[in-house]
Structure 1
Amino acid sequence: MRHRAVTAVLAAAALLLTAGCSSDDGGGAAAGDGSATHSDTATRSSAPERTGEETPPAKGSVKVTRTVATDLESPWGLAPLPGGDLLVSSRDEATITRIDGDSGKKTGLGEVPGVSPSGEGGLLGIALSPTYASDHMIYAYFTSASDNRIVRVLYDEKRPAGEQLGEPDTVFRGIPKGVIHNGGRIAFGPDKMLYVGTGESGDTGLSQDKESLGGKILRLTPEGEPAPGNPFRGSPVYSYGHRNVQGLAWDAEQRLFASEFGQHTWDELNAIEPGDNYGWPEAEGRSDDGGFHNPIEQWSTDEASPSGIAYAEGSIWMAGLRGERLWRIPLKGTAASAEPEAFLEGEYGRLRTVVPAGGDKLWLVTSNTDGRRNPKDGDDRILELRIS
């Protein structure tokens, strides 16, 4: 299931890195999905709230200040570099490209070997090593011919363009793959551990199976081992009962939040607690079953189909694919402090990834040219937003 990184190889290399049903098929249920529904009859989760935190205003604002880059092919993951440039992964091309943060100039770093793009799979999330300043390592989650896995590669800026990625070192393997529900978001948390959002690959039974890596949030060391302090001894599983997790973010108090695709009824934003069960496939959205952790908020699948999320200005910002809008969820502790607001509805098509850009700014990545439909605007782009 897991493959531990070979540290000797790293030393020798000088320390050489769409979603289901309601999302990447453009609407409706994907072939093979059941027709489970769940009514919204329960009260909201009684999530704990911390006192002494400033509550953001009930109403916010979004302004697109500029288009950073255009003509991107199936962009998925985004990783800001020190200095203001950006790395973006192409799901279908299996490449990583550097974007100049000022001019938008694109420089190809190279292709990540071993990627097998198909359906919603391919080269998905990317993240910089927590010690990137010294090791220049990029982590990447991708779909191979047999599974979903995580590798790390050395980014050598001194090499010619297109040849700047070293050989991949596999740090974790064995995550179930499918035509749908491959998860794919990775992020290093405040604890410098690697968090991984996975999907159940269309096999709903995997989500409740704590021995499976599908339908989970995983927590790993940078070397790919189960992180110390995980809720299940010797296991990488951090939370379970998920359908397809593609958004991970931490607030100012280092609390983890995750977005999740529903099937026909409810998409979710969840506050993640270690060891908790988030209900799928027994519950979609809020449930009156006390054994399941209820979402902070839920949306119909045509309003959201969420992928990436970011925390900024006291709120979670959630990108919607089928919903074609950016959601703002103001927080007080781990509860919503006001009703969610939608911005940019239908203006830029499907929205895939949102990343903090410092202060009151965000980076936002569109997802219209994925090779399975006619491009909505002729290209995909990265936008800079000013928010409040």
Structure 2
Amino acid sequence: MDRVRRQRGRRVAGAACAVALTLVLAGCAEDGYEPAGPFRPLPEGPPPQVGPPTESTPAPAPGDPADPGSGESGGDPNVVATDLAVPTGLVVLPDGTAVVGERETGRLLQVFPDRSPPQELMVVPGIDTAGDGGLLGLALSPTFDEDGLFYAYVSTATDNRVVRFPLGGTPNPVLTGIPRGEVHNGGGLAFAPDGTLFVGTGDTGDPALAQDTASLGGKVLHVDVFGQPVGSGPVFSRGHADVRALCPGLDDPVGLYAVDDATDGPDELNAVLQDSDLGWPTPGATSTGPLLEVPDDAGGLSGCAAVGGTVFLGALEGRRVYVVTVEGGGVTEEPSALIPERYGRLRTVALDAEGGLWVTTSNGDGSGTPAEDDDKVLRILPPSSGGSSPI
């Protein structure tokens, strides 16, 4: 479970957020959801197990998702789905909808920007939810239009692993043997523009693993779609505590960002370079410093989306989305805050082609105070779209 931290953070003027969103999240439709492409229907039949059986307490049975137009969030246009169980991974589909994964149930649901009721698609089986494990990350195949494949970072009883599957189909292992622990299990997944896959892992509570080149723990790994190492080996960077999210910098001088949730001290936003050492637990002469540090009790960084030199960070303890401007390889100004304190603990963030920022809440993870209709999926539109301001 995410550790409890004291809440802290600066409130930043809403005008700064509005400027950032207007510049980055432009071109949002005002007339509701219109599909931009086809979506594959759910095949018949249950999928088989993804990994070894677990001896831990079974994951709770998922409840029925509610119509976001009902309940206490019914009048909030930012809320597109409610009553979910710790939504952790989220990907935006080519048709403009999104698929969200629940950490503790393995359930995948399709959610809609027009606030239609979520639709259950499948349950990824074989997931072990002990500690902070579970379904920890999602990514779309770089050729999703042709193959319809999802990639997921999941915990089993014996390891963390990356699997891939079509909806309703067999989850096949891509990369196995990532160390598994009670804490710091990682979960970041991101495809590079060339179609290769980056995987963010954690040190499992054993800091020594992070700088051990023989271990897959506490690393950013680089593999192809079959799990084979890219280059001389799978380890792309080392010295990480817990890489919960990765995001490529689209149209950005930084190729890859990682958010790292530290055991002690501030959380970090890092620029990830090949063969770099991020300095956990022991900084060295060649260690790379972070782009941004967020105090422990205002951090809990767990989400990352980037475009054009602007990075959006979901923060659990910070209870906001940080908006960070990166220029010339560094952060140029104090981060601004989007929706501070409004929805509680915020985890995954993703941008869609229409300029919407999708965000999942994480108030039901044991460290928050859930509202009656938590957890939620949000879609925030820039103020220039004519809707109500999200600030």
Please classify the TM superposition score into its range, dividing by the shorter chain length.
0.7 to 0.9
Shift of the alpha carbon at 1:372?
A: 6.3
- Using the TM superposition, give the Cα deviation of residue 222 of structure 1 relative to its aligned residue in structure 2, in angstroms: 0.4
SS of residue in 2 equivalent to 1:207: helix
1:88 matched to which residue of 2? 100
Q: Could you tell me how far 1:259 is from its partner in structure 2? A: 0.8
Deviation at 1:373, TM superposition (A): 5.7
Cα RMSD (Å): 2.0
Separation of aligned partners in 2, 1:374 and 1:349: 8
- SS of the residue 1:302 aligns to: helix
**Aligned to 1:328, which of 323, 330, 340?**
323
The aligned residue for residue 112 of structure 1 is: 124
Change (3 A) 1:197 1:88: same
**Structure 1 pair 110–338 and aligned structure 2 pair: CA distance change class (3 A):** same
Aligned residues of 1:313 and 1:360 also touching (Cα < 8 A): no
Query: Is 2:204 the partner of 1:201?
Result: yes
Aligned partner of 1:243: which letter? A
Which residue is equivalent to 1:53?
none
Which residue in the other structure is 1:5 paired with? Answer: none
Q: Of residues 68, 80, 84 in structure 2, which corresponds to 1:72?
A: 84
Q: Partners of 1:335 and 1:250 in 2: how far apart?
A: 16
1:315-363 per-residue CA deviation (whole Å, 9 max, x = no partner) reads 1110101111111111113211211122322211100100012354311
SS of residue matched to 2:208 = helix
1:122 equivalenced with 2:134 (yes/no)? yes
How many residue pairs were aligned? 318
CA shift digits 1:199-241 (9 cap, x unpaired): 00001100000110000001110001102x3xxx2x2111000
Which residues of 2 match residues 205-354 of structure 1 at below 5 A?
205-227=208-230, 229=231, 233=232, 235-251=233-249, 252-253=251-252, 255-283=255-283, 289-312=284-307, 314-354=309-349
SS of residue in 2 equivalent to 1:59: helix
* Contact 1:307–1:321 (8 Å) recurs in 2: yes
Normalized against structure 2, the TM-score is what? 0.77
Give the structure 1 partner of residue 47 of structure 2: none
- Match of 1:60, SS? helix
Q: Is the 8 A contact 2:17 2:337 kept in 1?
A: no
Kept in 2: contact 1:324–1:350 (CA 8 A) = yes
Contact 1:369-1:378 at 8 Å conserved across structures? no
Amino acid at match of 2:317: R
Distance 2:78 2:340 in 1: 17
SS of the residue aligned with 1:199?
coil
Distance 2:174 2:308 in 1: 34
Structure 1's consecutive aligned runs of 4 or more residues displaced over 4 angstroms after TM superposition are 62-65, 371-374
Aligned counterpart for 2:158 among listed residues 140, 146, 149: 146
TM-score, structure 1 length as denominator? 0.78
Q: What runs of 5+ residues in structure 1 fail to find an aligned partner?
A: 1-17, 19-23, 29-57, 156-164, 284-288
**CA-CA distance at 1:374 after TM superposition:** 4.8
In structure 2, distance between residues paired with 1:324 and 1:60: 15
Give the counterpart letter for 2:342 in structure 1. E
Aligned to 2:173: 170
Change over 3 Å in CA distance of 1:177–1:84 after alignment to 2 = same
Change (3 A) 1:322 1:329: same
Distance 2:202 2:129 in 1: 16
- Which sits farther off after the overlay, 340-349 or 374-383? 374-383
1:26 aligns with 2:29: no
One-letter code aligned to 2:237: S
> Cα distance, 1:66 vs. partner?
2.2
Q: For 1:297 and 1:375, how far apart are their aligned partners in 2?
A: 29
Q: What's the secondary structure of 2:89's corresponding residue?
A: strand
8 Å Cα contact 2:113-2:379 kept in structure 1: no
Contact persistence 2:344–2:368 (CA under 8 A) = no
Equivalent pair of 2:345/2:368 in contact (CA under 8 Å): no
User: 1 CA distance for matches of 2:381 and 2:307?
Assistant: 11
